[in-house]
Structure 1
């Protein structure tokens, strides 16, 4: 059920930092800037720093995985990574039980919020105040292509005008769950109405509780699935 992706950058790699001047005004009108690692690193960094300067949020998904320097990391409001990318960027091997350690290292490096997608195992989020983990929605996965893109896009929509929270994670989780039930990339991305109806239909499968983590002084929301 896992996918394998090859990228032929083509015109993407011609997007140089100098090109930013031609569309910098677009950033003024944006609520949030979303980027992946399919354009040159220096361009990503230049755009992130410009967005930060303009007071705009930055969501960065380093896919394909790439090293992220401190200056760029400090400009990232929401870092979205899967387990492989999280391990690569943090330099800490993922063991299956050390998400807090990896996310903590990424927070220490400068990212304000770290979201680690775990495929069929759900999603984990951590910032300076809370850590949270949501299970995945149980669906019949047909094609996982664009699941990560859909997750990032849906999360960006929810976080454009407010801070990241459990509602935003649940919305992005639901959008990605719908996407994997369809073939193709763009054709698998659901509409807002589809996501809202999906959440409503599956709402009874979730219950939210909170526990206090005495060791790290974190209020830790945990979502339990009710069979």
Structure 2
């Protein structure tokens, strides 16, 4: 039997405080909410859960605070079979929090980094043995940028495939991009990274990032699917799948995890993108980023349909 793909996720763990309302408030306005949910989140943890649900042997590297939220997040990841031995608990710090207003099928999010802001280069060095076992190392930008830069370089030194989800959006130095095998921005993140306006053709903007040393760019396009471009000149557009959208919070995270899982299992880029679009389609049909992540059986059933 083939061994399961091994994915190491280096990133954030948050408690998502999700308030449902008929519409978001305007600045200075108070509106009545309908429900509140306390849901384990953080881009890193979301991607780890999605990866584990698909069957990858998944390790999480990050930090939580010494509060009830931190203990709850570690317990939630442990229940998914994720190795949390490299998630440190920082005494006296609070766990990262995301405040999410969910209305009209979309969301507004404010993130407070908390312990996520204290994931250091030393933590990456201490976890080198775990990174060395990975097929794919998956990164995002909710921990300090210097740590992300160092982690990507360390993973490349160890011969690993590095996937970077450049969210939340910010400009990135070439020294990071040169160590990225697959960059997975959404459309607005793509144009920010390429430092061009949206009037520039999508493929041109993607090519500008290839010129900076990225090997492959995959741009998620929401309901339009995802486009990809490789340094070898392969390109294409993979359509999305029409579903009843309940909550888009974990859409990007599920896509990144689905892609990384498929890539870690040896799939070529186009097949990995196709698989990821199906994972993301299923993820948005349920409330909550982590709760909505599908299992491999559910994805296979969706493909069969």
* Normalised-by-shorter TM-score class: 0.7 to 0.9
User: In the alignment, what sits opposite 1:54?
Assistant: 158
User: In the alignment, what sits opposite 2:230?
Assistant: 127
User: In the alignment, what sits opposite 2:212?
Assistant: 109
1:185 Cα deviation from its structure 2 partner: 1.0
Bigger drift between 159-168 and 39-48 goes to 159-168
Does residue 148 of structure 1 match 2:252?
yes
SS of the aligned residue for 2:138 comes to: strand
- Residues 164-197 of structure 1: CA distance to partner in whole angstroms, max 9, x if unpaired? 3222111100000001111111000000010111
User: In the alignment, what sits opposite 1:66?
Assistant: 170
User: In the alignment, what sits opposite 1:84?
Assistant: 188
The CA RMSD measured in Å over matched residues stands at 1.2
User: In the alignment, what sits opposite 2:286?
Assistant: 182
Question: TM-score scaled by structure 1?
Answer: 0.85
Which has the higher relative contact order, 1 or 2, with Cα contacts under 8 A spaced 6 or more apart? 2
Larger radius of gyration: 2
- Residues 107-153 of structure 1: CA distance to partner in whole angstroms, max 9, x if unpaired? 11111000000001110000122111011101111110100000000
User: In the alignment, what sits opposite 2:114?
Assistant: 10
Q: Distance in 1 between matches of 2:267 and 2:182?
A: 10
Q: Distance in 2 between matches of 1:181 and 1:98?
A: 31
1:45 Cα deviation from its structure 2 partner: 0.5
Question: TM-score scaled by structure 2?
Answer: 0.64
- Residues 80-114 of structure 1: CA distance to partner in whole angstroms, max 9, x if unpaired? 0001111111101123x711111010111111000
Structure 1 residues 47 and 190: alpha-carbon distance in aligned structure 2, compared to 1, 3 A threshold: same
1:6 Cα deviation from its structure 2 partner: 1.8
Q: Considering fraction of residues, name the structure with more strand.
A: 2
SS of the aligned residue for 1:178 comes to: helix
Q: Considering fraction of residues, name the structure with more helix.
A: 1
1:163 Cα deviation from its structure 2 partner: 5.4
Which of 44, 47, 50 matches 2:148?
A: 44
Q: Distance in 2 between matches of 1:3 and 1:89?
A: 23
Which of 159, 163, 178 matches 2:263?
A: 159
SS of the aligned residue for 2:279 comes to: helix
Q: Distance in 2 between matches of 1:82 and 1:2?
A: 16
Which runs of 5 or more structure 1 residues have no equivalent in the other structure?
A: 202-227
Does residue 170 of structure 1 match 2:274?
yes
SS of the aligned residue for 1:156 comes to: helix
